[in-house]
Structure 1
Amino acid sequence: MKSLSFTLIGIILLAMLITSCSGLGGVKTTPTVEEPTATAVPLKEITLCTAEEPKTLFYYGEQSKGAELVFDAIYDGPFDWVNYLAEPVIIEKVPSLGDGSASYVSGAVNASDLVVDVDGNIGPLAEGVKLFPSGCQAMDCAITWDGVTPIQMDRLTLVYTLKQGVQWSDDETVKAADSQYAYLVAAGLENSRYEEIVDEIVTYEAIDDRNVKVTTLPGLITSDYTQFFFSPLPQHALSSYTSGDLETVDAAAKLPLGWGPFKITAWNAGTGITLEKNEFYFRSAEGYPALDKINVKFLKTGRALNDLIAQDGCDVIDDSLIKAGASSEINTLQNDRAVRVETLPGENWEVLLLGINPASYDDGYYPYGSDRPDLFSDVAVRNAIRQCTDHEAIAGQQVLIGNGHPFVYFPYDVQNGSATNVFDTYDPTAANTALDAAGWKDYDANPATPRVAYGVSNVPDGTVFSLNLYTTTSSENAQIAQGIQTSLANCGIQIKTVATPAAELYAKGPEGVLFGRKFDLALISWKIGDTLPCALFESEEIPSEDNYWIGVNDGGGNVTGYQNAAFDAFCTSARYGSTDQAAALNAQLEAAKLLDQETPFLSLFFDAKTFIVDSKLCFPDERNSEKYPYSSLEYWDFRDTCN
Structure 2
Amino acid sequence: MFDVKSIDRNPDRPAADLSTLTPRPPAQSSLTVCPGQEPNSLYPFGELNSAARSVLAAVYDGPFDTIAYEYQPVILTKMPSFENGDAQVDRIQVQAGDTVLGADGNLVTLKEEVRVRPAGCRADDCVIPYNGTAPLEMDQMLVTFHLRPDLTWSDGTPLTADDSIFSFELHKEADIDSFLLERTQVYEAADEQTLQWFGVPGFIDPTYFTNFWMPAPRHAWSVFPADELPSIDIAANAPLGWGPYMVEEWSWRPHCAGEESALLPRGGWIPQNGQDQLPLHPGPGHGSVRIDRGPL
Tell me, yes or no, whether TM beats 0.5: yes
1:139 aligns with 2:123: yes
Name the one with the larger helix percent: 1
Question: Which residue in the other structure is 1:222 paired with?
Answer: 205
State how far apart, in whole Å, the 1-side matches of 2:273 and 2:194 are.
Answer: 33
Supply the AA of the counterpart residue of 2:42. L
The alpha-carbon deviation at position 256 of structure 1 amounts to 0.7
1:316 aligns with 2:278: yes
Question: Which residue in the other structure is 2:233 paired with?
Answer: 250
State how far apart, in whole Å, the 2-side matches of 1:79 and 1:119 are.
Answer: 31
How has the CA–CA distance of structure 1 residues 128 and 72 changed in structure 2, closer, same or farther, with 3 Å as cutoff?
A: farther
Supply the AA of the counterpart residue of 2:88. S
1:95 aligns with 2:80: yes
**SS, match of residue 142 in structure 2:** strand
Q: Deviations over 1:110-169 (max 9, x none)?
A: 344221235542222356655432123x33665142545642112211211101211111
CA contact 2:100–2:200 (8 Å) conserved in 1: yes
The alpha-carbon deviation at position 98 of structure 1 amounts to 2.7
Question: Which residue in the other structure is 2:269 paired with?
Answer: 289
Q: Deviations over 1:304-336 (max 9, x none)?
A: xxxxxxxxxx833224639xxxxxxxxxxxxxx
The one of 141, 145, 165 equivalent to 1:180 is 165
State how far apart, in whole Å, the 1-side matches of 2:58 and 2:85 are.
Answer: 33
State how far apart, in whole Å, the 2-side matches of 1:118 and 1:269 are.
Answer: 52
**SS, match of residue 231 in structure 1:** coil
Supply the AA of the counterpart residue of 1:275. L
Q: Deviations over 1:365-422 (max 9, x none)?
A: xxxxxxxxxxxxxxxxxxxxxxxxxxxxxxxxxxxxxxxxxxxxxxxxxxxxxxxxxx
Q: What's the C-alpha RMSD, in Å, of the aligned pairs? A: 3.0
Question: Which residue in the other structure is 1:84 paired with?
Answer: 69
The one of 60, 65, 74 equivalent to 2:59 is 74
Q: Deviations over 1:613-643 (max 9, x none)?
A: xxxxxxxxxxxxxxxxxxxx9xxxxxxxxxx
Question: Which residue in the other structure is 1:114 paired with?
Answer: 99
Q: Deviations over 1:281-316 (max 9, x none)?
A: xxx4xxx22227999xxxxxxxxxxxxxxxxxx833
State how far apart, in whole Å, the 2-side matches of 1:257 and 1:91 are.
Answer: 19
Matched ranges for 1:399-418 at <5 A: none
State how far apart, in whole Å, the 2-side matches of 1:134 and 1:184 are.
Answer: 30
State how far apart, in whole Å, the 1-side matches of 2:86 and 2:117 are.
Answer: 21
CA contact 2:143–2:209 (8 Å) conserved in 1: no
State how far apart, in whole Å, the 2-side matches of 1:132 and 1:293 are.
Answer: 60
> Where do 5+ consecutive residues of structure 2 fail to align?
1-19, 255-259, 285-290, 292-296
The one of 42, 45, 50 equivalent to 1:57 is 42
**SS, match of residue 191 in structure 2:** coil
Supply the AA of the counterpart residue of 2:270. A
Question: Which residue in the other structure is 2:265 paired with?
Answer: 277
The alpha-carbon deviation at position 106 of structure 1 amounts to 1.7
Question: Which residue in the other structure is 1:166 paired with?
Answer: 151
The alpha-carbon deviation at position 218 of structure 1 amounts to 0.4
State how far apart, in whole Å, the 2-side matches of 1:227 and 1:218 are.
Answer: 18
State how far apart, in whole Å, the 1-side matches of 2:264 and 2:248 are.
Answer: 7
Aligned length: 260
**SS, match of residue 154 in structure 1:** strand
Question: Which residue in the other structure is 2:3 paired with?
Answer: none
**With structure 1 as the length reference, what TM-score do the two structures score?**
0.37
**SS, match of residue 188 in structure 1:** helix
Say which structure, 1 or 2, has more relative contact order (CA 8 Å, 6+ apart): 2
The alpha-carbon deviation at position 53 of structure 1 amounts to 2.1
**SS, match of residue 55 in structure 2:** helix
The alpha-carbon deviation at position 37 of structure 1 amounts to 9.6
State how far apart, in whole Å, the 1-side matches of 2:144 and 2:42 are.
Answer: 28
Question: Which residue in the other structure is 2:183 paired with?
Answer: 200
Supply the AA of the counterpart residue of 2:32. T
**With structure 2 as the length reference, what TM-score do the two structures score?**
0.76
The alpha-carbon deviation at position 199 of structure 1 amounts to 1.5
State how far apart, in whole Å, the 2-side matches of 1:257 and 1:79 are.
Answer: 18
Question: Which residue in the other structure is 2:5 paired with?
Answer: none
State how far apart, in whole Å, the 1-side matches of 2:57 and 2:157 are.
Answer: 20
Question: Which residue in the other structure is 2:287 paired with?
Answer: none
Supply the AA of the counterpart residue of 1:220. F
Identity of aligned residues (%): 29
CA contact 2:34–2:281 (8 Å) conserved in 1: no
CA contact 1:78–1:231 (8 Å) conserved in 2: yes
How has the CA–CA distance of structure 1 residues 71 and 130 changed in structure 2, closer, same or farther, with 3 Å as cutoff?
A: farther
Question: Which residue in the other structure is 2:141 paired with?
Answer: 156
How has the CA–CA distance of structure 1 residues 175 and 123 changed in structure 2, closer, same or farther, with 3 Å as cutoff?
A: same
> Which protein shows a greater Rg?
1
State how far apart, in whole Å, the 2-side matches of 1:63 and 1:111 are.
Answer: 42
Question: Which residue in the other structure is 1:213 paired with?
Answer: 196
The alpha-carbon deviation at position 71 of structure 1 amounts to 1.9
How has the CA–CA distance of structure 1 residues 131 and 294 changed in structure 2, closer, same or farther, with 3 Å as cutoff?
A: farther
State how far apart, in whole Å, the 2-side matches of 1:294 and 1:113 are.
Answer: 59
State how far apart, in whole Å, the 1-side matches of 2:58 and 2:65 are.
Answer: 13
Name the one with the larger strand percent: 2
Matched ranges for 1:568-607 at <5 A: none
> Where do 5+ consecutive residues of structure 1 fail to align?
1-34, 279-283, 296-313, 323-632, 634-643
Supply the AA of the counterpart residue of 1:45. S
CA contact 2:89–2:141 (8 Å) conserved in 1: yes
Q: Deviations over 1:252-289 (max 9, x none)?
A: 111110000111111114564322211xxxxx4xxx22
**SS, match of residue 178 in structure 1:** helix
